[in-house]
């Protein structure tokens, strides 16, 4: 579409129809598109393209969503999205054609629906993988519809336009892959043998996934990613950089125990094992469940466990100190239990005055005695001269 100002779109028929389809006002819808463009790091002109793509119901991409070794926390996180709500998302923004948890169908009907959607949208549908994939003993530890997870994900990925691994389990193995890993739990990219878009987290923020889908809906491709396949708009900055407790880190104010004075006052959790200095995610920026920035681990008083990082989350003990990647503490710290000053009291002022008076008297006496000694020393040669003469 030609580049137009998003404000001028308010009177377009497709945008007017959004009020009925999505249950939001046209102005709120356009503000949401502008905010999403900013979140994705796109220019302001992209907001109009996002609005056009979402407002046009004929462009809904088909989504096949697979579940393997996981707790369904990623889907639960998506259920709590508010902009848009889940029913608006799956009925008006995307076409969720297969999802084992949300499906009304079961058994053979569910598998028939998946195969029909894959055939009708071959080369165009998005494949979303939730959960790690067991590979030990030929993958016998997870089967769906008589197929192992290995065979199922390879079959679905063969005709997909793109593969998205949602959650830490699908992104790099997550909790199921932690030692001793008896099932050989692996990531989607490892099993498929190719890079995929990864949205790690335990669970990930639903808006990271929704933003990636809207980007695909608008531009026909997935957003730019880092070397691990994570979208840069969400995983390019360390948690520590945007943490509300960062000033306490810089000042050397740390909670040393859960429930101590520093912990109650919101001091930095680094010494309690917070992994924010080595974890890339936007958790402190957008929070969870639309209830404010306190709705994330550090905001609630618990250290970040690094769930978006392979080799950190579910690998390092919670109490282990994080590796400081791009920030360093100051060379000198104030005492974490430094008492607050209360000003001078009469007694303390008197004590200082007494000390000052004693010091002045001592200095006077020292000078006086020193002068006498110098005078004696200077008179001795003169007396000797007089005696000899």
Q: Which residues fall in the annotated binding site for [3Fe-4S] cluster?
A: 283, 304, 307
Are 186 and 139 in contact by the 8 Å Cβ rule? The answer is no
Annotated binding site: 71, 74, 169, 202, 240, 243, 268, 274, 283, 304, 307
Are 144 and 181 in contact by the 8 Å Cβ rule? The answer is no
Q: How far apart are CA 115 and CA 326, in angstroms?
A: 47
Collect all residues with Cβ–Cβ distance below 8 Å to 80 and sequence separation of at least 6. Answer: 206, 288, 289, 290
Angle at 173 between CA 181 and CA 110, to 5 degrees: 105
Collect all residues with Cβ–Cβ distance below 8 Å to 175 and sequence separation of at least 6. Answer: 168, 169, 202, 314
- Strand intervals (E) in the chain: 62-67, 95-99, 126-130, 133-134, 143-144, 147-148, 162-166, 185-186, 197-199
Annotated binding site for [4Fe-4S] cluster: 71, 74, 169, 202, 240, 243, 268, 274
Per the listing, tokens 């909670």 go with 255
Are 112 and 243 in contact by the 8 Å Cβ rule? The answer is no
Q: How far apart are CA 366 and CA 363, in angstroms?
A: 5
Neighbours of 234 (CB within 10 A): 29
């Amino acid at each position: 579409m030609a580049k137009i100002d998003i404000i001028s779109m308010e009177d377009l028929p497709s945008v007017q129809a959004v009020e009925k389809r999505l249950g939001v006002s046209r102005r709120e819808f356009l503000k949401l598109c502008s905010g999403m463009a900013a979140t994705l790091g796109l220019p302001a002109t992209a907001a109009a393209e996002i609005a056009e793509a979402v407002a046009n119901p004929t462009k809904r991409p088909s989504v096949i969503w697979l579940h393997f070794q996981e707790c369904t926390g990623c889907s639960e996180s998506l259920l709590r999205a508010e902009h848009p709500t889940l029913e608006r998302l799956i009925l008006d923004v995307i076409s969720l054609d297969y999802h084992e948890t949300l499906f009304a169908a079961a058994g053979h009907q569910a598998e028939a629906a998946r195969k029909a959607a894959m055939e009708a949208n071959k080369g165009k549908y998005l494949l979303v993988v939730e959960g790690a994939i067991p590979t030990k003993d030929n993958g016998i530890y997870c089967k769906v519809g008589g197929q192992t997870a290995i065979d199922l994900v390879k079959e679905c990925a063969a005709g997909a336009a793109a593969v998205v691994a949602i959650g830490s389990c699908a992104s790099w193995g997550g909790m199921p892959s932690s030692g001793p890993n008896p099932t050989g739990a692996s990531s989607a990219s490892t099993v498929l043998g190719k890079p995929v878009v990864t949205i790690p987290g335990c669970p990930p923020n639903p808006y990271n996934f929704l933003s990636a889908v809207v980007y695909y809906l608008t531009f026909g491709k997935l957003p730019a990613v880092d070397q691990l396949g994570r979208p840069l708009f969400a995983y390019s900055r360390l948690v520590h950089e945007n943490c509300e407790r960062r000033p306490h880190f810089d000042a050397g104010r740390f909670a040393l125990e859960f429930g101590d004075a520093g912990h109650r006052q919101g001091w930095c959790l680094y010494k309690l094992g917070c992994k924010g200095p080595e974890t890339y995610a936007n958790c402190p920026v957008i929070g969870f469940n639309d209830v404010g920035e306190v709705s994330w681990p550090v905001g609630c008083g618990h250290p970040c466990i690094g769930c978006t990082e392979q080799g950190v989350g579910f690998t390092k003990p919670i109490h282990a100190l994080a590796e400081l990647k791009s920030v360093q503490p100051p060379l000198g710290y104030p005492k974490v239990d430094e008492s607050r000053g209360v000003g001078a009291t009469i007694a303390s002022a008197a004590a200082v005055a007494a000390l000052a008076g004693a010091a002045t008297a001592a200095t006077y006496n020292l000078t006086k005695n020193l002068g006498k000694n110098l005078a004696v020393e200077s008179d001795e040669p003169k007396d000797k001269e007089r005696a000899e003469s």
